[in-house]
Amino acid sequence: PGAAVAAPEASADAPPGLAALRMGEVPPWAFFGCSFNAVMLIAGDLIDLVFAAKLGLSPLAASGLASTLAAAGGVSVLQLLPGVLDMPDRVREPEAWRAKIQGRLAGLFMGFALGLFPIFWPEEWRLWKKGAASVAQRRRAPITAEEQAVAQKCTEEFPTAVTGPALEDAVYRALAAKGWNADNTLFAHASCPDEVNYDDDADLANLLCTRWGKRFRLGGLAGMSFSGNTGWGAFSAHTPKDGKIFILYGPHVGLGNSGAFSKIRRHGQAHDSTCCGAAVAAYNDTKAPTGEDWVGDMEQIALTKLLAPYRKKIAADPEPMKALAY
């Protein structure tokens, strides 16, 4: 009756305590959360390029699809880790079930926070280059035989021409090597307001604006800087302290489906129209208005006067409309 009863020894196979269950869930789910956020941030530009450009999706839809794929891939990896996805029966072991849920949530929140580290990386550390490649393009219909012929003629007539994305990338690499970036550089351009210069995200002026973050518009019809001394003064005053200026300027020339220079087949039209229309009009106009008429069409009148000394030289060229651009 007076004998002491010895306490049973703890079994080596006894289930872990609630704290151990909770802490055991943190590392794998923290790894999942960190990897998910980091991959989405680092590969953000590449994801936009692949999903938005190739599938014709909006940036929001592309992000949603990419998140779904990344989450599915992460869960698939967790499946390979023994016991990570195992859960106790919620009815028979409610406390153990809650402990594991709490551990998973704590791990996810911790991982998501740690996975934000790419935000603090320099831009050049991003997995995919910003600018040309990061722009979501509209999904295009297959190129027609007429468009193929135009592209071939463009290559023949302008053998040194390059595409906007290729030129933008080459320029960026050269300037970045000299320390130019979006924080110390102000981009300005004088290019014709013709919609064909801006109706595609891969147009050069749009790419440069995407790259450098902002733009100052200097003008003007046919690519002339009609903002004048006032515009140039404002532009220089807006430049970052000890910063740099990047200027794009020049005219544009179309190549129509008929193969004619200074023509282009615009979206929604069944025939070619002039491009650049202002330059062609200035070339064809032999007499500029005088007196007070300049107020109603000041840029075109100025362009006509500026082009007048070169009219004979342009007319003597075998391809006047091609020479007009130069």
Q: What is the pLDDT of residues 170-211, one digit of tens each?
A: 898 899 889 998 889 999 999 999 999 988 878 899 989 988
Is pLDDT of 16 > 70? no
Parallel, antiparallel, or unpaired: how do β-strands 263-265 and 216-219 relate? unpaired
Confidence band, pLDDT 50/70/90 cuts, at residue 291: low
Lowest-pLDDT choice from 11-15, 47-51, 154-158, 254-258: 11-15
Nearest to 186 by CA among 163, 218, 149, 144: 218
Share of the chain above pLDDT 90, in %: 29
pLDDT of residue 246: 94
CB 16, CB 24: distance < 8 Å: yes
The per-residue pLDDT of the chain, averaged, comes to 82
Is pLDDT of 310 > 60? yes
Q: Show the tokens assigned to 326.
A: 């130069």
Burial 277-303 (b: 16+ CB within 10 A, else e): bbbbbbbebeebeeeeeeeeeebbbbb
Q: What is the pLDDT of residues 225-273, one digit of tens each?
A: 999 999 999 999 999 988 999 999 988 999 998 889 999 998 888 899 9
SS3 218: strand
For residues 206-221, average pLDDT:
90
Confidence band, pLDDT 50/70/90 cuts, at residue 278: very high
pLDDT of residue 123: 61
For residues 116-142, average pLDDT:
60
CB atoms within 10 A of CB 152: 11
Nearest to 216 by CA among 193, 194, 238: 238
Confidence band, pLDDT 50/70/90 cuts, at residue 109: very high
Domains of the chain: 18-126 (no CATH), 144-325 (3.40.1050)
pLDDT of residue 6: 52
